[in-house]
Amino acid sequence: MKYNKLLFSLLLLAVFCFSCKEEQKLQTSLDFDKVLLNAKSNPIAIESESPLFSWIIKAEGFGKSQSAYHILVASSLDKLDETHADVWNSNKVESSKSTFVKYEGKELKAATRYYWKVKVWDKSNQESNWSEPQYFQMGLLDESNWGEAKWITLTNDTRTSEYRFREYKTGRMEQPIQVDGFAASYFRNKINLNKEVDNAQVYICGLGYYEFFLNGEKVGDHVLDPAPSNYDKQAYYVNYDITEQLNSGENALGIILGNGFYGQNISWKNDPESDRDLAYGPPTVRVLLKLKYKDGTESEFFSDETWKESTGPIVFNNIYGGDTYDARFELGDWTSTNYDDSSWGFAKETAPEIKNISAQQIPAIKKLQDYEPQNVFKGSDGEWIVDFGQNIAGWVKLNVSEKEGQLIEVITTEALLTNGRDIFPGSTGGGANGMAQIYQYICKGDGQESWEPKFSYHGFRYAKIKGVSTKPDADMIKAVLVATDIQETGSFECSDDLFNKMHNISKWTIVDNVHGIPEDCPHREKCGWLGDAHAFCEYALYNYDMYDFYKKYMEDIRTQMLPTKGHNNPELKFQVPTMIAPGKRTSSYAKIDWGVATMYLPWYNYLYYGDDAIVNEYYPEMKDLTNFYLNFKGENGIMQDGMGDWCPPRWDRRTNPEAMECDPIISANAYFYDVLGIMETFAKMNNDGAFQSEMKAEKEALKDAFNKAFLVEIPNTDFKWYQSQTATVQALQFGMVPEEEIENVVNGLEYDIVEVKGGHHSTGIHGNRYIYTVLSKYGKADLAYRILTTPDFPSQTYIMNSGFTTWPERQFEWETMEGPTNSLNHPMHSGFSAYFFESLGGIKSSTKEAGYKQFIVNPEFPSQITQTKVSVPTPYGDIKNDWSFEEGKLSMTLEIPFNTEANLVLNQAELESLIINGKTFQNLQKNTKSVTLQGSNVILGSGKYKILYNKR
């Protein structure tokens, strides 16, 4: 008996000790979820002199935050410890900063790999383990690092295929002309390795799209590399690690080079007599291969005049028109070592005009997904039409068996005729850029032949295929989604299937329009219009990792800037962007409502990520542009400039311009007021006190002038507004409405929507971005729902019911037309969907603690929505909010990442009913430091909370 009691006591003691250890483990557990440098995992082409370190911590419990960090950087793994770290030892730094921590070690050397790790302490001084070792590799930091690498281009265009020519015809031309463009170039060379390779890096800069091959295999999974840019000022190279792909002895290197946006000597000419040439010159490429051997020696191999050249089966390529591939001119296994290239010529060295070459930091364009035919039928001319069920950007791939010389032609379009009997060219017929979307394949006739393009992409849902002897099926033809591989990091779903479908369409419309730049559409123009870019930016940031994407696009905007005279004072000179960036197909100087993208994109990037580098980098340009727009100030204090609220319902600038009810001056000045506040913040961040004060004064003056000029009474009512739905929405969104007038203005907006417009919006891209958020904020969430879901024109539901899978550029009554004109894939109309996250999900970053260091939680939703679930990506981890509403009670599950805090917005009545994790707020506040009160708002530290309160 005594033995059993002793055993029982020991057992209890063991359980108690185990429990203590588990409790201690729970309290001290700090686990690294992600460890990043410049927001990337183990990057290999870093060019920052001071890279930025970030880490995401998973920690159990509540109110957990960081109090200190320690970073080590070393030249090798065996030196990566506190004693031997030879590049940087930060020692213990007392700081809560866990994102974008600036490197402060020794000067980093080009093309060199470094290793690093970090550990942290929480506010209780509990210490984490070291993170797993990470690495980063520096790129080619300046021109000298390219060594002897030369630019090479095609010497002789030897194309003889009769299919090298295409028809070119803009809407202004009576007859088409024949064009062939620059030839696709094929380059090859060999290297002989007689030592064992430890590391091999290849650096390629293509002016024009390229693909790189090694020993018969394509290197990497990129397509359409590199991203477009203002090539004469800024071009991008891509770095590949090919250590594992090299063989001992002989190795064969090959490159195919196409025109891309660089060799654009065809499209966007106004007529055949025009001397307008959008080409920078014939495509050219530069290659550097850096080898490090296991014996410690190094060598380089590079492009020069010793490379062999040829033309081949790609006999035509144009970014708008498409590729033509004549398989009868295939070159055989031309990237293998034993290939006989004695008939090939030698490449020509060239010296293109180019100011700067940098590593491409944004994700590459890739083939993301294949789509099979959903329906196949014969058109009115007897040719087969394939419906892939989704409007995408990309190309088709073929698998055919036809006779030698058989031409197979694929015409891609976004739409059918309204009667459904044939394809409708609409946006894809080439009237604007002169080139219809056509792919051509000429068979070699030796059995099954497979092909897909390399140097063009199209926007399409339908494909008419000519020249095949059997009915197309999934074995013969597929559609391939091709776009920049931005990673989807956020999510939204709610209890209403219509909203879920709108969210899906909004995402599709963005994914289809990112090809190294934020495009307006993936077919007719493929241009980076600045107004479109800022219209959908915030929604994109909620859904995707866009950290590097907008930094790159800001460089496009900067390198697009041109010297421009002041408006009121022509003696003044400013650097001003054009309406489009990048490229030679520009427009006029950027009007205010388009040009503010220059300020909005850094602001949104800072607000959503918390990295001030983009603000500091572009502050001089933003300041200069702000002064340029201030030079448009009239005697009434209003800037006399603006482009307009693009594409409201039924609007056509030629046939129905009055449908744009918002005066462009009004909407532009509303944007500019908001931007003046942003520039006030940016000036403060850059210690520019004088400009900060100036911006504050200009903002206050513009608010007064705006209200004096544009706030009017609505006849026969007690309400006021700013003469259009868009201007009224903007004034409410940007805080321009005098406090005593807010109720009257909100009621005025409701009056116009309900009584005048019959429950419909009349907004274009400027107003549509904010109208649903504004209505929700001011107690009209049910009206926002009504506008979105009414099946009658105009509404998002009307568009969905019309069969569109992406948002069209124009808002027309499609059933009354022969076919849907203009683009059917325009991401500027996805901007409104930020409403799903910021209003329904209730999650917004604080402007005072940017990057979601502190964030706002305030779901505002219509009575028709009973449940919403969002996940919002942040540099600290994902914020998750899952709420349901029933019988007046809001039940919320909220996950707050480590090292952040949430500001739960409540009124006094809601606060009094608040229960968190099963306890009243008063009880919880007494027993924990992770919950505090700020007015009627509740500040919550990190952790997972169950929240319940009566929603008023």
pLDDT recorded at residue 602: 98
Q: 734-767, pLDDT tens digit by residue? A: 999 999 999 999 999 999 999 999 999 999 999 9
Helix (H) or strand (E) segment spanning residue 814: none
Question: In the structure encoding, which two tokens stand for residue 103, read together?
Answer: 């490197």
Confidence band, pLDDT 50/70/90 cuts, at residue 189: very high
Whether residue 814 is annotated as binding a ligand: the answer is no
Answer whether residue 10 shows pLDDT above 60: no
The one catalytic residue among 309, 402, 525, 621: 525
Q: Determine the Cα–Cα distance for residues 901 and 56; give it in Å rounded to an integer.
A: 15
**For all residues of the chain together, what is the average pLDDT?**
95
pLDDT recorded at residue 412: 98
pLDDT recorded at residue 11: 41
Answer whether residue 17 shows pLDDT above 80: no
CA distances for 67 relative to 64, 96, 119, 876, angstroms = 10, 5, 11, 15
Q: Determine the Cα–Cα distance for residues 798 and 501; give it in Å rounded to an integer.
A: 12
Angle between helices 613-630 and 597-609 (to 10 degrees): 150
The arithmetic mean of pLDDT across residues 525-553, rounded, is: 98
pLDDT recorded at residue 275: 63
Q: Residues of 581-620 as b/e, b for ≥16 C-beta within 10 angstroms?
A: bbbbbbeebbbbbbbbbbbbbbbbbbbbbbbbbbbeebbe
Instruction: Provide the terminal-to-terminal Cα distance of the chain, rounded to the nearest Å.
Output: 65
Question: In the structure encoding, which two tokens stand for residue 87, read together?
Answer: 């590049």
pLDDT recorded at residue 424: 96
Q: Determine the Cα–Cα distance for residues 828 and 521; give it in Å rounded to an integer.
A: 9
Q: Indicate if the alpha-carbon torsion angle 515, 520, 523, 526 is positive or negative.
A: negative
525 is annotated as an active-site residue: yes
If DSSP codes are grouped into helix, strand and coil, which group holds residue 110? coil
Residues in contact with 155: Cβ distance below 8 Å, sequence separation at least 6, in sequence order = 309, 345, 346, 347, 348
The arithmetic mean of pLDDT across residues 136-153, rounded, is: 96
Q: Name the β-bridge partners of 736.
A: none
* Contact by Cβ (8 Å): 414, 391: yes
Confidence band, pLDDT 50/70/90 cuts, at residue 923: confident
Q: Is 856 exposed, middle or buried (0-12, 13-18, 19+ CB in 10 A)?
A: middle
Answer whether residue 20 shows pLDDT above 90: no
pLDDT recorded at residue 587: 85
Residues in contact with 780: Cβ distance below 8 Å, sequence separation at least 6, in sequence order = 746, 750
Answer whether residue 819 shows pLDDT above 90: no
* Of 24-38, 797-811, 819-833, 868-882, the least confident: 24-38
Whether residue 532 is annotated as binding a ligand: the answer is yes
Helix (H) or strand (E) segment spanning residue 267: none
Confidence band, pLDDT 50/70/90 cuts, at residue 14: very low
Confidence band, pLDDT 50/70/90 cuts, at residue 641: very high
Q: 359-406, pLDDT tens digit by residue? A: 999 999 999 999 999 999 999 999 999 999 999 999 999 999 999 999
Strands (E), 146-283: 151-153, 166-168, 177-179, 185-193, 197-207, 210-214, 217-218, 235-241, 249-257
Confidence band, pLDDT 50/70/90 cuts, at residue 937: very high
Whether residue 520 is annotated as binding a ligand: the answer is yes
Q: Is 274 exposed, middle or buried (0-12, 13-18, 19+ CB in 10 A)?
A: exposed
Residue owning tokens 């590049």? 87
Q: 54-105, pLDDT tens digit by residue? A: 999 999 999 999 999 999 999 999 999 999 999 999 999 999 999 999 999 9
Question: In the structure encoding, which two tokens stand for residue 718, read together?
Answer: 């007690």
pLDDT recorded at residue 756: 97
Answer whether residue 15 shows pLDDT above 60: no
Confidence band, pLDDT 50/70/90 cuts, at residue 29: confident
CA distances for 571 relative to 157, 565, 567, 640, 923, angstroms = 49, 7, 9, 18, 68
Q: 393-440, pLDDT tens digit by residue? A: 999 999 999 999 999 999 999 999 999 999 999 899 998 899 999 999
Which residue, among 511, 413, 373, has the nearest Cα to 807 in the 3D structure? 511
The one catalytic residue among 309, 809, 838, 860: 809
Q: What are phi and psi of 892, to 5 degrees?
A: -130, 135
402 is annotated as an active-site residue: no
Whether residue 594 is annotated as binding a ligand: the answer is yes
Q: Determine the Cα–Cα distance for residues 830 and 506; give it in Å rounded to an integer.
A: 5
Which residue, among 576, 674, 557, has the nearest Cα to 627 in the 3D structure? 576
* Contact by Cβ (8 Å): 549, 514: yes
Q: Determine the Cα–Cα distance for residues 877 and 871; give it in Å rounded to an integer.
A: 10
Q: What are phi and psi of 193, to 5 degrees?
A: -105, 120
Question: In the structure encoding, which two tokens stand for residue 787, read together?
Answer: 């506008």
pLDDT recorded at residue 203: 98
Domains for the chain: give ranges and CATH numbers.
Answer: 30-137 (2.60.40.10), 143-319+329-361 (2.60.120.260), 368-484 (2.60.120.260), 487-839 (1.50.10.10), 854-950 (2.60.420.10)
* Contact by Cβ (8 Å): 360, 237: yes
The arithmetic mean of pLDDT across residues 857-868, rounded, is: 98
Measure the CA dihedral 14/17/20/21, to 10°.
Answer: -100
- Give the largest CA-CA distance in the chain: 110
Whether residue 760 is annotated as binding a ligand: the answer is no
